[in-house]
Amino acid sequence: MASSDSVYDLYRRGTALLEGGDYHAAAVPLSRARDLEPDQTSIREALGRALFQSQRYREAVVEFEAVVERAPTNDYALFCLGRSLQQLGRHGEARRPLALAAQLRPDRGDYRRYRDQARRRAA
């Protein structure tokens, strides 16, 4: 990383790559930004998204857990945490964050669908 790279520059570069669908590449600057500013939930959420899309679900869980710890009503982070746990086959653990996400945003059919799926698969 060049010394002139600010956290903001790293975040912008990472989110541009993320939005462009280059998930593996996006994780690099976003990881650097996270290391410099570990309490920034926006960075950790973007990194979690990049990791999830790269099928690095264990790492995504860590990032989404960090976001939820700092912002427990972030419905999207709760949803992504639940989805990451589901991808790891941890359906019982996925139930709580998915249920919370669905309660926070009852208008989101996708949240309800994955919540119900976790319930069925955990049973």
Spatial distance between the Cα atoms of 110 and 19, rounded to a whole number of angstroms = 21
Query: Residue 21: how many CB atoms within 10 A of its CB?
Result: 9
Q: Average pLDDT in the 79-93 region? A: 98
pTM: 0.94
The better pLDDT of the pair 10, 3 is held by: 10
pLDDT digits (tens, 9 = 90+) for 12-61: 999 999 999 999 999 999 999 999 999 999 999 999 999 999 999 999 99
DSSP 108: -
Q: Which CATH number fits domain 1-71: 1.50.10.10, 2.40.128.20, 3.40.50.1000, 1.25.40.10?
A: 1.25.40.10
What is the per-residue pLDDT for 5?
81
What is the per-residue pLDDT for 118?
96
Residue spans of the domains in the chain: they are 1-71, 72-123
Q: How confident is the model at residue 4 (pLDDT cuts 50, 70, 90)?
A: low
Q: How confident is the model at residue 1 (pLDDT cuts 50, 70, 90)?
A: very low
